[in-house]
Structure 1
Amino acid sequence: MRKLLITISIIGGSLLLGACRKDFVKINTDPNTATSLNPQYLLSTVLVNSAYTYQDDAYMDKPGEAGRYFTKVRNEADDLFGWSSVTWDGYYNTLSLNYQLYNFAKTQHQGQYMAVSEILRAFNFSRITDLYGDCPYSEALQLKENANVHPRYDAQQDIYTDLLKRLTAANDSLANATLDVDKTYDIMYGGNLLKWRKFANALHLRLLMRISSKDKTAFTQMQDMLNDASRFPLFTTFEEEACIPYLGKTKSDSWPGGNLVNSVTETQKYKPSKELVDALLSLNDPRLPVWIAPVEQATGYTVDGNKYVGVPNAIPAPYDYNGGEAHISELAPLFFSNADPLLKASLMTYAEQCFILAEAAQQGGVTVKGETAQTLYEKGIRGSMGAYKIDGAAQDSYLKQPGVAYDGTLKQLIQQKWIAGFMKGFEGWFDNRRTGLPAFTLGPLSALRTIPARYLYPTLETSLNADNYNKAVATQGADKTTTLMWYLKK
């Protein structure tokens, strides 16, 4: 499987958009190169590229610090929010591969792969626009056909409108599909089209919640979906959520300490944050020992004598906090053994879906048959814990605790959604910038007085696609991390 993925990546790499690179105009002109490929061969690669990078970014890149899950204790610029521009080439490369998947499926009249490709398209394009705001969309991925090396930036509102339409169409297409997806190459769902539909609809809810404060029809669209559950099936258990396993089986090739990063020492730059560890401790959360390792030495600390110790963000000499690394927690062994079935790269979880519906119900935006905001909130917690094999008795005890027992506040709901989002993508950061919750501590050395709102556009865009870049900046606002994108503007 790994050899196959590498081979496909080489094929797909020649199709890299890179948003707007003149060097790619001449791609695929070799008459001896294969011009067709069965779509199932690309599916595995698109899935791996989508899920692994989403997981990597949640841990070893800016979203991990912005979501206050991690503190970077070496080369701390990301932790201090002194963010520089961020390339989007990897994201567009995945979309380019997915574009070929779609086109191969269309040529061969395989609608089931076209629909799956559309779902993955929505996931990856939503990630780009959620990170940057306006971005190349309608003119992206078409370099081979149109030789357009200067794709325009579409408005985020228009991108979202189109993504939501495509998710609806993909769900409907799979409902009527007469052909199967090859279970060998579908490493997420083993060819189960109903589960793909559930992922599409859960993702649909995520995007609607994202824009709910800006688009007054968002809750109405949610309600329309909920009113037709047979047409729009959703996750019913954590066992259906969108995730894939890691391929490694030993520490040397496992995530995050193996072949997906430079070396094990690279992971030593990232420590669990004080905000996360303290929240887990304060709530007697049974997920704490599953996620976080105890400190190596119980004596000799300087600040915190707890068994589990997180590092505050944006402080001087974070590597020396509490007396040094022997008195700071690491990630638990779970995250260094791909053989552990609990370690998976997630695109979207059942817990997240439950919290989205709980928030919508709490705000009076939707009603869910047989559910209340409280039951959905509790299902979100149970869904997260169940995925980590926390037993039912421990779940029951946790839900009865003061601070956890449902109180009807958005503050409590978002805190629990944030906890459940540990190592699950960007949602902790994105919910904070959307709601202001949890109320994160910035730290004394933070370069900003707010959590960043976005990534800076790639540096090369200012020269290789300057006209379209300038138009986007003129419309959206200055290319700064504090500039609000469309759905965050009041």
Structure 2
Amino acid sequence: MLKKSYNYLVALPVLLLMAAGCKKGTFDINNVNPNLPLTVSSQFTLSAALTNVANQSYNSGYPDFANRYMGYWAFSGDYGGYGTEATYNTNTSFATSNWDNVYLTLENFRNIVDQSRVKGEEYYLGISKIMQAFQFQRLVDLYNNIPYSDALNGAKANYYPKYDDAKTVYKAIVGQIDSAISIIKGANSVTADNPGKYDVMFGGNMTKWLAFANSLKLKILLNMTQVSDGPAFITSELNGLTTADFMGAGVDAAVNPGYSNSALNQQNPMWQNVGFATNGTSPTTGNSFNRACSYSVNFYKNTNDPRLSLFYALNNNGVVKGRALGSEDGTEHNTVISAVGPGILASPTQSAWIMPACESLFLQAEAVQRGYLAGSAASLYQSAVSESFRIMGVSSPSTAAATYTAQPDTRVNFTSAPDKIQLIVLQAWAAYNMIDPIESWNNWRRLGVPADLPVSIYPGTTATHIPYRLLYPLSEYNSNSANVNAQGSINNMTSKIFWMP
């Protein structure tokens, strides 16, 4: 990985410094150029870094492939040239922003960590450590072994960082979250510098940050349920925690730096990707290219799910219709196959979900069902479904969720489901459509849910399952070749993430 030690998307403080540095009579050739500051204030870097995380969750080039792998999206019948992805014959140039840009954002959080340690900005330090853990988890889940201990060394940059064992990284970031929680809890709430409006996720509400930190920790831990020493580690790490320590109903981790419809690059990142131009009618390329997949459409229809017409838009005939991933049917035009729906595209100014309450509640339900936490898995499951209905805009979400889960269908009814964990994870898949497809992919790789997830039907496709991982990016083979080649021969269809059975 070519080491980059700079911030990006932090133009505001630079502009302020430019204004201050242009006063007559203040120029000194011996001074550092005020228009190119060596450091940027933590408050501005935090806003930019959190916004970048949102971009990496929804902009094109990041999770789009996972929406297709997990049966949420299909390719438009009005486009071609997608054979490489449709046959899963991807290469080192595929989805590389998930590596390159995530490491850049990690550098932003590293800068905050370095500055906040000096200045005593405990809240900034805690937040940044939590978000570093969030992003390192994402990297492990996509690539397995990654540069970790050598990756973020600031002025002592190692331009050829070694790769760390993925399980070691996982355990290290759990410890990093614990450290962040201790830092935040130990801060003096009167004297600590609260980020307030510069915290574009929780507005400086540190109680919510603590709940998010624990929810993220739970998300990481549950990925280890199938690892030989995983259950013991999970039990140890969750000791002393109760469901009250996690994000509950109504508490969404969502970023909004002030999205607006005044310009395309100011819209919510999902809207930029698969929404519309500022006129509200001209679809983006992503909107035209990504269409409803028949697998998910049929699941929602067969379970009488009121989210169907919210995940997907009505077609020209006034119904929701999908197509199979990889279909070459020339009659399946965009007038027939549904686009992304109004629940996902509520507004160009809507917040970008990082972890909605429903995700935390599904995680808690699984943890309780497995015996890692005390509580009622049935109640947590019910609340998770209700919260998914809420963020999707279902009317009277609690009532609608109660009606939905009361159906005599083992795919929705907790009481009648023979395998409660399978049900919880299946309904998490139903809820994470376009919201967190990476987590759905994790669950499929970990537990094989959904069990009947189809593969692409594109001509020439020989795969019997969807891919297990992404390949390391070309940038690594070009600039850090010794260390990436030390990982051996990587195959996206057979090489597993460490937590996979």
Residue 471 of structure 2 is matched in structure 1 by 456
Say if 1:183 and 1:190, in contact at 8 Å, map to a contact too. Answer: yes
Distance 1:169 1:383 in 2: 30
Distance 1:246 1:283 in 2: 37
Residue 384 of structure 2 is matched in structure 1 by 380
What one-letter code is carried by the residue in structure 2 that aligns with 1:117? S
SS of the residue corresponding to residue 254 of structure 2 reads: strand
Shift of 1:171: 1.1
Say if 1:273 and 1:313, in contact at 8 Å, map to a contact too. Answer: yes
Say if 2:133 and 2:176, in contact at 8 Å, map to a contact too. Answer: yes
Alignment partner of 1:285 out of 305, 314, 328: 305
Shift of 1:148: 1.9
Shift of 1:415: 1.6
1:428 aligns with 2:440: yes
The two structures have a TM-score, normalised by structure 1, of: 0.84
Residue identity over aligned pairs, in percent, reads 25
Residue 42 of structure 2 is matched in structure 1 by 39
Alignment partner of 2:59 out of 56, 67, 78: 56
Distance 2:464 2:255 in 1: 37
How many residues are matched?
A: 446
Residue 146 of structure 1 is matched in structure 2 by 156
Alignment partner of 2:72 out of 69, 74, 77: 69
Per the alignment, do residues 395 and 291 of structure 1 end up closer, same or farther by CA in structure 2, a change over 3 Å counting? same
Distance 2:52 2:231 in 1: 30
State how 1:391-470 maps to structure 2 within 5 Å: 391=396, 392-403=398-409, 404-406=412-414, 407-409=417-419, 410-425=421-436, 426-439=438-451, 440-445=453-458, 446-470=461-485
Per the alignment, do residues 184 and 251 of structure 1 end up closer, same or farther by CA in structure 2, a change over 3 Å counting? closer
1:124 aligns with 2:135: yes
The two structures have a TM-score, normalised by structure 2, of: 0.82
- Structure 1 residue runs without a partner (length 5+): 12-29, 299-306
Residue 225 of structure 2 is matched in structure 1 by 212
Alignment partner of 1:346 out of 329, 353, 375: 353
Shift of 1:125: 1.0
Shift of 1:141: 2.2
Bigger mean CA deviation after superposition, 428-437 or 172-181: 172-181
Residue 86 of structure 2 is matched in structure 1 by 79
1:91 aligns with 2:106: no
Per the alignment, do residues 260 and 185 of structure 1 end up closer, same or farther by CA in structure 2, a change over 3 Å counting? farther
| Greater than 4 Å deviation, 4+ residue runs | 8-11, 57-60, 255-263, 334-337
Distance 2:286 2:407 in 1: 38
Distance 2:303 2:134 in 1: 33
Distance 1:441 1:217 in 2: 29
Shift of 1:278: 1.0
SS of the residue corresponding to residue 472 of structure 1 reads: coil
Q: Please, what is the CA RMSD of the aligned residues?
A: 2.7
Alignment partner of 2:171 out of 161, 165, 169: 161
Say if 1:83 and 1:481, in contact at 8 Å, map to a contact too. Answer: no
SS of the residue corresponding to residue 347 of structure 1 reads: strand
* Cα displacement string for residues 196-244 of structure 1 (whole angstroms, at most 9, x for unaligned residues): 01111000000001112115344653575363349x821121x212112
Say if 1:223 and 1:367, in contact at 8 Å, map to a contact too. Answer: no
Say if 2:126 and 2:180, in contact at 8 Å, map to a contact too. Answer: yes
Residue 191 of structure 1 is matched in structure 2 by 204
* Cα displacement string for residues 140-185 of structure 1 (whole angstroms, at most 9, x for unaligned residues): 122x523421100111011011000001111121112111422110
Shift of 1:421: 0.7
Residue 325 of structure 1 is matched in structure 2 by 334
Distance 1:60 1:478 in 2: 21
Per the alignment, do residues 408 and 168 of structure 1 end up closer, same or farther by CA in structure 2, a change over 3 Å counting? farther
Per the alignment, do residues 60 and 469 of structure 1 end up closer, same or farther by CA in structure 2, a change over 3 Å counting? closer
Say if 2:310 and 2:393, in contact at 8 Å, map to a contact too. Answer: no
Shift of 1:5: 4.9
What one-letter code is carried by the residue in structure 2 that aligns with 1:112? Y
